[in-house]
Amino acid sequence: MPADKSTAPPTSQPLSTPASARILDDGEMMVIASTPMKSPHNKVLPPLEGNLSIPKKRRGLGTPGSKGSYLNTSPLLSPDTSSGNDQNVTPRGSTPLKQNRRSVSTPIFNRPSAGKPTRVVSIHTTPIPELTPPGSNSLLLDTDLPDSLTSSTPSRSFSSPLLYKKIFTSKDGLSPSPSATPLLGFEDQSPSRRALKRKNVNDIAEADTSGNSTGNDSSVHAKLVAKKELKDLRRSEAFLDVEIKKYEDQIGLITRANRYLASHKTSEEPSSPIRSVDALIEKWRSVGQQAASYLLNSALVKVSNMGGYQEYRKRQADRTTRQLVSQFEDEMAGKYEGFIELEEYKEMSALDKKELDERYNEYKRKSEVKTEGHGKKQKTEEEGNAITMKQLFRELNVEYALFFDD
Amino acid sequence: MYRSQFKSLPFSTPEASKKRIAEKEVKLAQLKLQFEQLLEQYKSSESPETVVKRHVTDLNRYNGVRDAALAMVTMIAEQRSLRIADVLTEMGVEPNEE
């Protein structure tokens, strides 16, 4: 098989894969490529005509011109939209295809070269479009809605989908009127204007009462005036509630005071069965005094049987000392003795052991001093030859002044 | 049920508010008249607040005295193996009396 010299490039070299070669009869060497190699047929692409414009592919979109293409279904991109040709326009109310979900108010399709999808300009450089016309204009557009509905072509005036939905979902469903949404004009305005309106509600209401309102804002102003009036009524009602509560409290207080005074006056009469609180206190005070006297006598008898008052005091002091000592032993001595039996104490250095012993001895000495001081204090308090009523009340833990005057 | 009752109340109507205000004004006028009548009946040098406070203090004192006296009476009854009512009767006090 002769080699094609015209088509084969002169510099064509076999690839790195192994190849077999043989010498032909005319003395030329032929290389047989048994493995993949560069094609000997050189295909040259046709020359480029005009500008290279490759449309950007969108996911799920068909080719331009095919059925279901976005460019054909969009009413705004259709070249004959302005002429009223609805053949290529998909109604907004009908079930949209997946490709038609993009908002028609996107600025890219409002450009003159809408047929050619191009790159979207940065949002920072794009001027903010006026999405909604002034309130009065939008309401005027509503009067033409039935025609728009019957033609199944969404009006291009409704650039805001939200406003579109709001108007079309009014109560009557078909003929939204300004009275159905009285605050629609307010919602159309920019946020700053809305804030100003909210801020100066009272000023507007006052202006309305003075007759400066225009015809379009009369219903809104009437609402504001009614709101202000309701607010004033609530304020005056709250004031009345406070006044009523105040007078009810005062009346209750005077009624109670009159009742207490009347009962006190009635109890002073000897024939009256009602006793005042003072009389009841006196009654139970006398009962307490009698009981205390009985208890004191019985205590004196016990003390005399015990061996006298001195013996009683001595026993009392011993009992107190025993209590304090047992308290010390329970608290500190028990802990100390338990600790010195532990391995931890045995592992301590001699210096630490000495310090611990010193602290324990110091605490023991302080507790002994405290016990002796308590005994001396008791002696000074209970000087005398017999137990007194005050000592009895102290032992009983009862307030002496409740029954006896100091 | 509560919600339906709540919703039925005419809170936001100016007419209902005016009606309630008129009723409350009448009530306030009656309360003022009653207050003046009570002030005329009140004959004491002390203020009503002082009288009420003193009464509350006396009640607290009465409770303290009664409890302490009953505690001592109980001790006596235990020592003598008697009932509290018997001890109180010996002291000249009716047991059922306040």
- Tokens at residue B47, please? 């203020």
pLDDT at position A239 is 95
The encoded tokens of residue A197 equal 């309106």
Residue of A227, A240, A241, A263 to mutate, interface with B, max B Cβ within 10 Å: A240
Residue B21 pLDDT: 93
State the smallest CA–CA distance between residue A96 and chain B in angstroms.
Answer: 42
Quote the pLDDT of residue A152: 40
A240 with B24: Cβ contact below 8 A: yes
Q: What is the pLDDT of residue A355?
A: 86
B62:A284 CB<8 A: yes
Note the pLDDT tens digit of each residue in A266-311. 766 666 556 678 888 989 999 999 999 999 999 999 888 888 888 8
Q: Average pLDDT of chain A?
A: 65
How is residue B6 written in tokens?
Answer: 């709540």
**DSSP code string of A113-144:** TTTS--PPPPTTTSPPP--S--HHHHHHHHTT
Question: Pick the residue with more confidence: A16 or B40?
Answer: B40
> Given pLDDT bands bounded at 50, 70 and 90, which one contains residue A186?
very low
B60 touches chain A (CB under 8 A): no
- Please give the helix or strand (H or E) that residue A172 lies within, else none: none
- Give the residue with greater pLDDT, A161 vs A368: A368
Question: Of A17-26, A155-164, A165-174, which has the strongest mean pLDDT?
Answer: A17-26
Burial of A187 (C-beta count, 10 Å sphere; 0-12/13-18/19+): middle
How deeply is A350 buried, as exposed, middle or buried, from its count of CB atoms within 10 A (0-12, 13-18, 19+)?
exposed
> What is the pLDDT at residue A325?
77
- Say yes or no: B26 contacts chain A, CB-CB below 8 A: no
Of all residues in chain B, the one with the smallest CA distance to A294 is B76
**Predicted confidence pLDDT, tens digits, chain B (98 residues):** 555 555 555 556 888 889 999 999 999 999 999 999 999 988 888 899 999 999 999 999 999 999 999 999 999 999 999 999 999 998 888 877 65
pLDDT of amino acid B32 = 95
Whether the predicted pLDDT of A190 surpasses 60:
no
CB contact under 8 A, B58 and A278: yes
A-chain residues within 8 Å CB-CB of B18? 233
- Judged by CB atoms closer than 8 Å, whether chains meet at B65 and A403 is answered as yes
pLDDT confidence tier of residue A129, bands split at 50, 70 and 90: low
pTM over 0.80: no
Q: What are the structural domain ranges in chain B?
A: 14-43, 44-98
Is B18 or A9 the better-scoring residue by pLDDT? B18
CA distance to partner chain B, nearest, from residue A85 (Å):
52
- Residues in chain A with CB shorter than 8 Å from the CB of B75 are 291, 295, 396
User: Which residues from B are below 8 Å from A247, CB to CB?
Assistant: 28, 31-32, 35
Chain B nearest C-alpha distance from A67 (Å): 55
Q: Is the pLDDT of residue A123 over 90?
A: no
Is B20 within 8 Å of chain A by CB? yes
Element (H, E) at A325: helix A309-328
**In the predicted model, is pLDDT for residue A245 greater than 90?**
yes
Other Cβ atoms less than 10 A from the Cβ of A94: the count is: 9
Q: How confident is the model at residue A176 (pLDDT cuts 50, 70, 90)?
A: very low
Chain A partners of B39 at a C-beta cutoff of 8 Å? Answer: 254
Q: How confident is the model at residue A320 (pLDDT cuts 50, 70, 90)?
A: confident
Residue A9: its pLDDT value, please?
Answer: 44
User: Can you give the pLDDT at residue B31?
Assistant: 96
Q: Which of A243, A292, A317 is nearest to B91 (CA)?
A: A292
- pLDDT at res. A82: 42
Q: What is the pLDDT of residues A358-380, one digit of tens each?
A: 888 888 787 777 766 666 665 55
Q: Tell me: ipTM over 0.85.
A: no
Q: Which two tokens stand for residue A262?
A: 């009347």
Q: What share of chain A is helix, strand, coil (3-state, %, to 5)?
A: 55, 0, 45
The residue type of A259 is R
Of chain A, the percentage scoring pLDDT greater than 90 comes to 11
- Residue A50 half-sphere exposure, CB side, CA atoms within 13 Å? 3
Nearest CA in chain A to B69: A288
Nearest to B14 among A229, A283, A284 (CB): A229
Interface of A with B (CB under 8 A): 226, 229-230, 233-234, 236-237, 240-241, 243-244, 247-248, 250-251, 253-258, 260-261, 275, 277-278, 280-281, 283-288, 290-292, 294-295, 298, 396, 398-399, 402-403
